[in-house]
């Protein structure tokens, strides 16, 4: 099967990168988070500049940034007590849910009693002081949201979505720019992202990811990063969303080295034709080498989007 696509399109994708803007935005985010963490350290003993690290994620790691990319970061926190409190809070909500189910099943017989209990809980909540034993990741996110908002322009908005913060502000960062921050826990080289709906952590070995990427670049050259960028753009145009970066990096790292050269256009055509014929479901994740890319949850649910991209690319004809 011979795939055809415009060479000028591939070259324009590679050229389209405002490195100065990306570096400037990175510096702004670093300065903002450093200041906010320092401010919060005066109010709580759980975080300080000594136990927090800001780690760029997604395509910021490789530099395969596109016009549709967001600036995504992990705010890594090394604090065992905060982690324990977060897990305890999860157990509380699990028990709370069980109590709600029981109360609903017995609503007819205990209606008056429940109402009285609810009023007491509300009164108690109003008079309860700060309790460090109940300070958890979600409390921290709320405090961080307030601190960020107070140090940005009034036109900027800081959204809090569970334990994810999203900043939108053209006066602070530029039009159509999103800054996304995931407060996570650190355990050595492992980042531990807490997912409430699963009642536990997703563990990400970012060092393993970086090592795999560096190894591939050392073997095939810097043009490998350009290929990632090309696939990012074409995936977006096929699906209107950027691909999971661990998935796209794993996909390309599994491709044979001989497909890559300094000529990015020729490399792209070879890689595309190879992927069209390969059984990619057996490709391995670069962060979980024992797992296939369509099985590893860190690669996201990418099967449908990948097939849609490949099918669309193979139908493209030169003008």
- Is 266 in contact with 275 (CB distance < 8 Å)? no
| Collapsed DSSP state (helix, strand, coil) of residue 190 | strand
- pLDDT band with cut points at 50, 70 and 90 for residue 197: low
What are 214-248's pLDDT values in tens digits?
A: 999 999 999 999 999 999 999 999 999 999 999 99
What's the longest Cα–Cα distance across the chain? 76
pLDDT on residue 144 = 97
Class for domain 17-81+136-205, per CATH? alpha beta
Neighbour-count burial of 12, counting CB atoms closer than 10 A to its CB (0-12 exposed, 13-18 middle, 19+ buried): exposed
Residue 245 CB-half CA count within 13 A: 22
Beta carbons within 8 Å of 170's beta carbon, 6+ residues apart: 155, 176, 177
Measured CA to CA, the distance from residue 270 to residue 311 in angstroms comes to: 16
The residue ranges of every structural domain in the chain are: 7-14+207-315, 17-81+136-205
Q: Please tell me what DSSP assigns to residue 58.
A: G
Indicate the DSSP class of residue 117: H
The CA dihedral of 308, 311, 314, 317, to the nearest 10 degrees, is: -70
pLDDT confidence bin for 81, thresholds 50/70/90: very high
Distance of CA 16 to the CA centre of its chain: 23
pLDDT of residue 18: 83
Flag whether pLDDT at 4 surpasses 80. Answer: no
Query: Taking the C-alpha atoms of 236, 237, 239 and 242 in order, what is their torsion angle to the nearest 10 degrees?
Result: 0
Distance CA(33)–CA(99), nearest Å, equals 39
**Residue range 21-44: mean pLDDT, rounded:** 95
Q: Are 136 and 89 in contact (CB under 8 A)?
A: yes
Residue 66 clears pLDDT 50, i.e. is over it = yes
The number of helices, as runs of H, and strands, as runs of E, in the chain is 11, 7
**Residue 5 neighbours by CB under 8 Å, 6+ apart:** 268, 269, 272, 313, 316, 318
Tokens read off for 80: 């065992």
Percent of the chain with pLDDT over 70: 83
Q: How many residues are listed for the chain in this entry?
A: 319
Of 123-127, 273-277, 278-282, the least confident: 123-127
């Amino acid at each position: 099967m011979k795939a055809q696509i415009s060479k000028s399109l591939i070259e324009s994708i590679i050229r389209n990168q405002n490195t100065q803007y990306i570096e400037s935005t990175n510096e702004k985010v670093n300065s903002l988070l450093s200041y906010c963490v320092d401010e919060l350290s005066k109010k709580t003993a759980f975080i300080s500049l000594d136990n927090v690290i800001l780690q760029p994620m997604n395509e910021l790691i490789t530099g395969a940034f596109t016009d549709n990319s967001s600036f995504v970061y992990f705010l890594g926190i090394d604090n065992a007590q905060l982690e324990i409190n977060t897990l305890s809070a999860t157990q509380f909500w699990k028990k709370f849910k069980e109590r709600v189910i029981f109360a609903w099943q017995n609503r007819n017989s205990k209606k008056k009693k429940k109402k009285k209990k609810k009023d007491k809980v509300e009164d108690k909540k109003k008079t309860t002081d700060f309790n460090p034993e109940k300070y958890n990741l979600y409390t921290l996110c709320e405090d961080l949201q307030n601190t960020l908002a107070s140090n940005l322009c009034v036109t900027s908005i800081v959204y809090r979505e569970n334990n994810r913060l999203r900043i939108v502000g053209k006066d602070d960062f530029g039009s159509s720019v999103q800054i996304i921050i995931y407060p996570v826990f650190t355990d050595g080289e492992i980042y531990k992202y807490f997912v409430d709906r699963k009642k536990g952590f997703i563990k990400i070995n970012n060092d393993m990811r970086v090592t795999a990427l560096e190894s591939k670049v050392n073997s095939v050259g810097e043009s490998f990063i350009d290929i990632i960028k090309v696939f990012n753009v074409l995936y977006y145009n096929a699906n209107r969303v950027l691909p999971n970066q661990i998935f796209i990096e794993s996909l390309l790292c599994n491709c044979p080295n001989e497909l890559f050269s300094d000529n990015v256009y020729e490399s792209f055509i070879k890689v595309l034709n190879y992927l069209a014929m390969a059984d990619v479901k057996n490709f391995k994740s670069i962060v979980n080498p024992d797992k296939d890319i369509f099985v590893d949850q860190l690669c996201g649910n990418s099967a449908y989007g990948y097939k849609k991209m490949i099918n669309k690319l193979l139908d493209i004809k030169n003008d």
